[in-house]
């Protein structure tokens, strides 16, 4: 059984999520202790427990310590199921995109549909539009395709968002995403839920005023939702290059002007582009698992403690050589 210290490095929930994914794929059981030891609320919270419940259901795993607040978990997976419809409700505004990241590699080429209920657009997590506009298009470059449907949006603190993941097929290959290439165009989605529609318009306008300086076509769609459980807004931007995609987003909050939301996302996108890397810092974390599974390399904008920690957890499960060169930008290689 693989032993994992959950306080290692970044000491957060990604250690658990990466362990769950790779345990399912390799059928290697693990024990993690000091779960999320470096967080304000240590132990399993609802979002983390939902990830455990999801992978447990998909692998008929035997578990011990899977309850809210637990600081130790034993996870022993069996075979991955081949088909089924599953619903996992976080029960809070906990991020559905983090649970999505956990299960996605597990359901490839299986007749599995998953409905996730919780937060689609919440702080400190990829927004659901970042997943759709940046993550999925990059996955197509390595042979992975599927559908993600946003039925309802969920914002902090109410949650109540609903996302359906299905039809994920893969013929993955080794990959090299080392250069962004020439910037071709920028697309985006500015959304608002159960708030005045002009908020989404203002987010879009302020973002476009900054992005216009880049000299390429900018197209930002509006997503206006009037009867959601939760109130909120946000904007996600995707810079499409000849060879890669870079994303950035920003969320609204009480007292934060819509213009500031749009400016934040645009300025972050410009900052990421200026590094010359092929991917943004969030995608650098997210691609690491796929590069390690299939053999790949890529450059990313800023090396985070999150990424360093993830690389060490991957090595516990996979017989793979990983190399990180540089910091900003940095090159990640796995073979």
Note the Cα 66 to chain centre separation in Å: 23
Contact 277, 300 (CB under 8 A): yes
Q: Write out the catalytic residue numbers.
A: 306
Let me know if residue 326 belongs to a domain: no
- Does some domain include residue 217? yes
Kindly list the strands in the beta sheet with 232-241, ordered across the sheet, starting from the edge strand earlier in the chain.
217-225, 183-193, 232-241, 245-251
Q: Judge if 198 and 173 occupy the same domain.
A: no
Cis bond before residue 109 (omega within 30° of 0): no
Is there a single domain that holds both residue 240 and residue 99? no
Q: How far apart are CA 133 and CA 232, in angstroms?
A: 20
Q: Both 214 and 307 in a single domain?
A: no
Given 220, 251, 274, which residue is the final one in a domain? Answer: 274
For residue 218, the tally of other CB atoms under 10 A from its CB is 20
**Is the domain of 222 the same as that of 298?**
no
SS3 209: helix
- How many structural domains compose the chain? 2
Q: What's the CATH number where 203 sits?
A: 3.30.360.20
Segments forming the whole domain that contains residue 97: 2-177+279-320
Residue 28 and residue 131 in one domain: yes
Both 57 and 189 in one domain: the answer is no
User: Domain for residue 329, yes or no?
Assistant: no
Residues 60 and 172 in one domain: yes
Q: Are 88 and 161 in contact (CB under 8 A)?
A: no
- Is residue 330, in this structure, part of any structural domain at all? no
Contacts of residue 264, Cβ cutoff 8 Å, sequence gap at least 6: 250
User: What does the pLDDT look like over 97-155, one tens digit per residue?
Assistant: 999 999 999 999 999 999 999 999 999 899 999 999 999 999 999 999 999 999 999 99
The annotated binding site for ATP is made up of: 101
pTM score > 0.85 for this model? yes
Asked, for residue 54, whether it belongs to a domain, the answer is: yes
**Residue 119 in domain:** yes
pLDDT tens digits, one per residue of 38-95: 888 899 999 999 999 999 999 999 999 999 999 999 999 999 999 999 999 999 899 9
The answer on 192 and 156 residing in a single domain is no
Within-domain flag for 148: yes
Query: What digits encode the pLDDT tens for the residues 202-238?
Result: 999 999 999 999 999 999 999 999 988 899 999 999 9
Please state the φ and ψ torsions of residue 217, each to the nearest 5 degrees: -65, 135
CATH of the domain at 143: 3.65.10.20
- Provide CB contacts within 8 A for 130, sequence distance 6+: 97, 236, 247, 249, 282
| Binding site per annotation, positions | 101
Residues whose CB falls within 8 Å of the CB of residue 95, separated by 6 or more in sequence, listed in order: 47, 118, 119, 122, 125, 126
How is the beta sheet containing 83-89 ordered, strand by strand? 83-89, 111-118, 161-170, 144-152
- The answer to the question of residue 212 being in a domain is yes
């Amino acid at each position: 059984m693989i032993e994992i210290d959950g306080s290692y490095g970044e000491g957060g929930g990604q250690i658990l999520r990466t362990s769950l994914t790779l345990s399912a794929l390799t059928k290697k059981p693990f024990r993690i202790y000091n779960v999320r030891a470096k967080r304000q609320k240590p132990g399993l919270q609802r979002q983390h427990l939902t990830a455990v419940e999801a992978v447990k259901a998909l692998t008929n795993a035997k578990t011990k310590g899977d309850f809210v607040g637990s600081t130790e978990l034993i996870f022993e997976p069996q075979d991955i199921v081949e088909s089924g419809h599953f619903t996992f409700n976080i029960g809070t505004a906990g991020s559905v995109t983090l649970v999505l990241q956990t299960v996605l590699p597990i359901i490839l080429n299986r007749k599995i549909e998953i409905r996730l209920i919780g937060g689609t657009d919440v702080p400190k997590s990829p927004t659901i539009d970042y997943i759709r506009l940046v993550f999925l298009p990059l996955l197509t470059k390595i042979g992975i395709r599927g559908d993600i449907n946003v039925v309802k949006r969920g914002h902090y603190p109410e949650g109540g968002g609903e996302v359906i993941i299905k039809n994920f097929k893969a013929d993955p290959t080794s990959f090299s995403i080392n250069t962004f290439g020439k910037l071709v165009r920028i697309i985006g989605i500015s959304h608002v839920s159960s708030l005045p529609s002009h908020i989404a318009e203002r987010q879009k306008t302020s973002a476009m005023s900054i992005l216009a300086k880049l000299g390429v076509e900018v197209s930002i769609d509006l997503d206006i939702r009037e009867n959601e459980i939760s109130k909120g807004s946000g904007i996600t931007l995707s810079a499409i290059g000849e060879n890669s995609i870079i994303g950035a987003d920003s969320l609204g909050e009480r007292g934060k002007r819509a213009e500031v939301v749009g400016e934040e996302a645009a300025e972050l996108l410009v900052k990421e582009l200026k590094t010359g890397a092929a991917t943004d810092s969030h995608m650098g974390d997210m691609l690491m698992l796929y590069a390690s599974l299939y053999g790949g390399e890529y450059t990313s904008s800023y090396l985070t403690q999150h990424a360093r920690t993830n690389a060490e957890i991957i090595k516990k499960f996979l017989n793979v050589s990983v190399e990180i060169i540089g910091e900003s930008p940095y090159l990640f290689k796995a073979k």
